[in-house]
Amino acid sequence: MRSRIRYRRFLICLFILNIFFVTFFIYYTMDKSIPDEIKILAGTQESFDFDMPLQGRIISEDMGVIQVNDLSVPSDQIRIDLNQPFTIESAETGTYQMDLKLFGLFNFKRVSLDVIDSMELIPCGNPIGIYVETDGILVLGSGRITGLDGLNYEPTRDKLKSGDYILEINGIEVNRKNDFVDLVQGCNGEDINLLVRRNKEKITVRVSPVKTASGSYKIGAWIRDNTQGIGTLTFVSTDGQFGALGHGITDIDTGLLMNVKLGSIYTAEIMSIVKGKEGEPGELIGMIRQSNKYKIGSITNNTYQGIFGRVGFEYDENLNAEPLEIGLKQEVKKGKAYIRCNVDDKITDYEINIESIDISNANHSKGIVIRITDKRLLELTGGIVQGMSGSPIIQNNKIIGAVTHVFIQDSTKGYGTFIENMVNNLE
């Protein structure tokens, strides 16, 4: 009898758990299918079909500014049934909020509705050399030091963390590794105060340098003050702003987004190509022409969506490609598209296939999955290789995104970011 009761309780618990997990899975799927932010172009009717049992209400104080399904509705009474296809149009730019309710009863999420002006960008696709200096001295980690007495010391243990930025030593600003080393040497063994930025907070730590057998003083911190590499220029706007890479510059050791103080992009020449293959991503090996003569522009911002800044007047004048309109997330379709890149001494459009689209904001740099189908590019590179990040993606004569990552196990496939994620970072 007791065993039957226990078995019944077990089945009831299992049933409840199943309901819980099914409910969670449905909620997660719906949340992933509805983006946190929707952009539409002013004066353009945008179509949507989410096919979700949700009711939306757009909060607007201006009567008649937004039209839903070709109908102007009174302010603060703009309602949308997301279970049916619908259209939205606005004559004016602005940011609105859309509250969503499940079955029209339960609060689900709030979506930002941004109405922006139409924008044209010049898709580039040419390789660039990238050089950036960190905003402070980046701490990679800490280690042991053997002192003059033969003992091991760890001066920065539990004081500095990987990803910290050292801004000052004893009140003196530092941005270069050589200056940092000179200031540590000049302490003559006395304690030093380090002003450190950890995440967004500034703290002060006190460290005791150790004199080594060579007579130099060290604090046992692995540090970095700059980095450089090869990437691809995605676009230049009609007012001279640029976007590149499609993903941020992260430190190779810590994996963290680097805080950039100064940065420049230069022309680069591709010298050779290491073809990608299963388990081994390929690479564009190039030469950076790092001089003022070959400087293209200055980097002002390093973000998770790419690097941004302004090109010089001379480079802006030499761009030959025609500007294209941007294509928003809802315009991107599965099927044929093109990436523009330079891997064979000339900028060429290569055919690709867009295999999946994720319009949620879960990962800004991986909203599109693409496969290289152009035999010319496959013959040259084996697919997507390191250095092609930032290659613009073009579909229906609109620039819709940029290449960001390659699949390690299949170099013919990779990720792309939506172009609207990148233009969010323009001035």
Q: Tell me the residue ranges of DSSP E strands in 155-249.
A: 165-169, 172-173, 192-198, 201-207, 210-211, 217-218, 221-237, 241-244
- List 81, 114, 251, 374, catalytic entry: 374
**Cα R_g (the chain), whole angstroms:** 27
Give residue for tokens 């003196």.
172
247 is annotated as an active-site residue: yes
- List 60, 90, 389, 411, catalytic entry: 389
Say if CB 28 and CB 104 are below 8 A apart: no
In sequence order, the β-bridge partners of residue 100 are 56, 109
- List 247, 364, 365, 411, catalytic entry: 247
Q: Which amino acid appears at position 97 of this protein?
A: Q
9-24 burial: b if 16+ Cβ within 10 Å, else e: eeeeeeeeeeeeeeee
Give the max Cα distance, the chain. 89
Write out the two tokens for 278: 């299963």
Write out the two tokens for 185: 């040497």
Write out the two tokens for 168: 């000052």
389 is annotated as an active-site residue: yes
Going 328 to 329 to 332 to 337, the CA torsion angle's sign is positive
**What CA–CA distances, in Å, run from 87 to 68, 72, 83?**
6, 12, 13
364 is annotated as an active-site residue: no
Q: Tell me the residue ranges of DSSP E strands in 289-422.
A: 295-303, 306-311, 324-326, 335-341, 348-357, 368-372, 385-386, 392-395, 398-407, 410-418
Q: DSSP code of 375?
A: H
Q: Give dist(CA 159, CA 67) in Å, integer.
A: 57
Which H or E element spans position 101? strand 94-102
Q: Give dist(CA 185, CA 222) in Å, integer.
A: 16
Q: Give dist(CA 232, CA 415) in Å, integer.
A: 15
Q: Which amino acid appears at position 414 of this protein?
A: G
Say if CB 426 and CB 269 are below 8 A apart: no
Which residues carry out catalysis?
247, 374, 389
